[in-house]
Amino acid sequence: MPPAATPAPAAASAATAMATLQPTAGNQTAGELRFAVVDGRIEVTGTVTGLPGGGTHGFHVHETGDCSAPDATSAGGHFNPGSTDHGRVGQGAHHGGDSDNITAGADGTAQVKGWLEGVTLGDGAATDVVGKGVIVHKDADDYVTQPTGNAGDRLACGVIQAG
């Protein structure tokens, strides 16, 4: 009689990460974001404050985790490991760093619940968002204009850190 099967080890918990958003020069926008793998894509949740009340804002992962420039241009362009056109996540071609717009209430606070697709979290691959920048833009992303969706100035920048 063969020995009893050994139970498989429990699956490792999904990777998680955090980003603390700091305002760019002349802005008040700040926030905390959480990143977690859910159903094969990355869920982004959190709160952003100090936005123009009632406004809609582009929200993207950018190429580098460098927020040192006063206007956060040091974070580079949208993270695009697949070399695709800019678009809307879940609706055809899009950068890996593209996510849906966020909308602030009258008090300037936005509750973030969005997704990233075509990227990974914490695996060290070329598609990994850990160590990349995350930017909240002044204007809404139109999901069409190349290469950035015409989202305007950068209001806040943070670095995605494993956690």
> Of 4-18, 81-95, 117-131, which range is least confident?
4-18
Residues with Cβ within 8 Å of residue 102, at least 6 apart in sequence: 48, 51, 56, 57, 59, 110, 112, 114, 136
Domain boundaries, the chain: 16-162
pLDDT band at 69 (very low <50, low <70, confident <90, very high): very high
Across 110-128, average pLDDT = 92
pLDDT reported for residue 78: 87
Across 20-29, average pLDDT = 97
- The pTM assigned to this predicted structure is 0.86
Say if residue 13's pLDDT is above 60. Answer: no
| Cα atoms in the 13 Å half-sphere on the side-chain side of 49 | 4
pLDDT reported for residue 163: 82
Say if residue 31's pLDDT is above 90. Answer: yes
Question: If you ran DSSP here, which 8-state letter would residue 98 be given?
Answer: B
pLDDT band at 46 (very low <50, low <70, confident <90, very high): very high
Give the Cα separation of 5 and 2 in Å (integer). Answer: 9
CATH number given to 16-162: 2.60.40.200
Say if residue 8's pLDDT is above 70. Answer: no
**Strand pairing partners for 49?**
30
Burial level of 31, CB count in 10 A (0-12/13-18/19+)?
buried
Residue 45 Rama label (left phi>0; alpha psi -120 to 50; beta): beta
Higher pLDDT, 92 or 39: 39
